[in-house]
Amino acid sequence: MNIDIKKLKKDVIEDYLYFFDNFEFAEHSDWKKCYCYSYHFTGSAEEWDIEGRNRAKAIELINLHHMRGYLAYDEGKPIGWCNANDKNNYERLKLSEELWNESKEKICSVVCFVISPEYRRKGVATKLLERVCKDYKEEGYDYVEAYPDNKAISSEDKYNGPKSLYEKNKFKIYKKLEEYNIVRREL
C-alpha cells in the first residue's frame, strides 16, 4: 500500500467532499453532516442542523484557507482525513478554559482523524500525523497539540486520535484532564 498525503487546498475540495459525502459513520450517523466543521462552529443546535449548512461552510473556509488539514489517498482514492490547523483558527477551542490559553507560542492543533474502516490500523493516521509535524515545523510552529480521549473505546470515538498514536510520535502530556489529555510535541 502506497499512501499519498495531500494538503487540503482548493484543488482537492472535490476529493474532500467525495470522502465525506461517501463515508459511512457506522456508530455515529449524525456525524455525517459535520464535514469536520464542528471545531469552527460556535452557533446553536438549530443552526447546526440546517441541511447542507456545514458542507457549505466547510467549502467556504477551505477557499479562505481557514480550514486546513490533510487527505490520505490510496491509488488516487481519498481514504483518510486529519483536521490540523493553527489553534487560533478553531473557534470552539476558545470556548473552553481547559483548552484555551492566550499564548505567544505558535501551536498547531490536531482535532480529528477520519480513516476509512478498511484502512484502520494500517499506519494511515501515523502518516498523516508525521506530515502535520513536518509541515508545521517548516512553517515555524513551536508545537503540535492534540486532545486524545481518555475513555474512548471504539475507532469512531477515537476521532481525536488514540493515545498510542501520540505516544509513538513523541508527544508528551501537557495537561491531564478527566475526559481527555492535552498532548504536545515540541517542534
> Does the structure show a pLDDT above 80 at 93?
yes
pLDDT at residue number 31? 79
What is the gyration radius of the CA atoms in the chain, in angstroms? 16
Point out the least confidently predicted range of 21-30, 36-45, 133-142: 21-30
pLDDT at residue number 97? 81
High-pLDDT (> 90) share of the chain, %: 74
- The pLDDT tens digits for 168-177 are 999 999 999 9
Amino acid at 169: N
Arithmetic mean of pLDDT over the chain: 92
SS (H, E, C) the chain: CCEEEEECCHHHHHHHHHHHHHCCCCCCHHHHHCCCCHHHCCCCHHHHCCCCHHHHHHHHHHHCCCCCCEEEEECCEEEEEEEEEEHHHCCCHHHCCCCCCCCCCCEEEEEEEEECHHHCCCCHHHHHHHHHHHHHHHCCCCEEEECCECCCCCCHHHCCCCHHHHHHCCCEEEEECCCEEEEEEEC
pLDDT at residue number 134? 98
Query: Between residues 137 and 45, which one has the greater pLDDT?
Result: 137
- The C-alpha cell 492566550 sits at 102
- The pLDDT tens digits for 154-164 are 777 788 999 99
Q: How confident is the model at residue 152 (pLDDT cuts 50, 70, 90)?
A: confident
pTM score > 0.75 for this model? yes
How many Å apart are CA 77 and CA 3, to the nearest integer?
10
High-pLDDT (> 70) share of the chain, %: 99
Indicate the CATH number for domain 3-186: 3.40.630.30
- The pLDDT tens digits for 81-91 are 999 999 999 99
pLDDT at residue number 63? 95
The span from the first CA to the last CA of the chain, in angstroms, equals 28
Q: How confident is the model at residue 153 (pLDDT cuts 50, 70, 90)?
A: confident
Helices 53-63 & 13-22 angle (0-180, nearest 10): 160
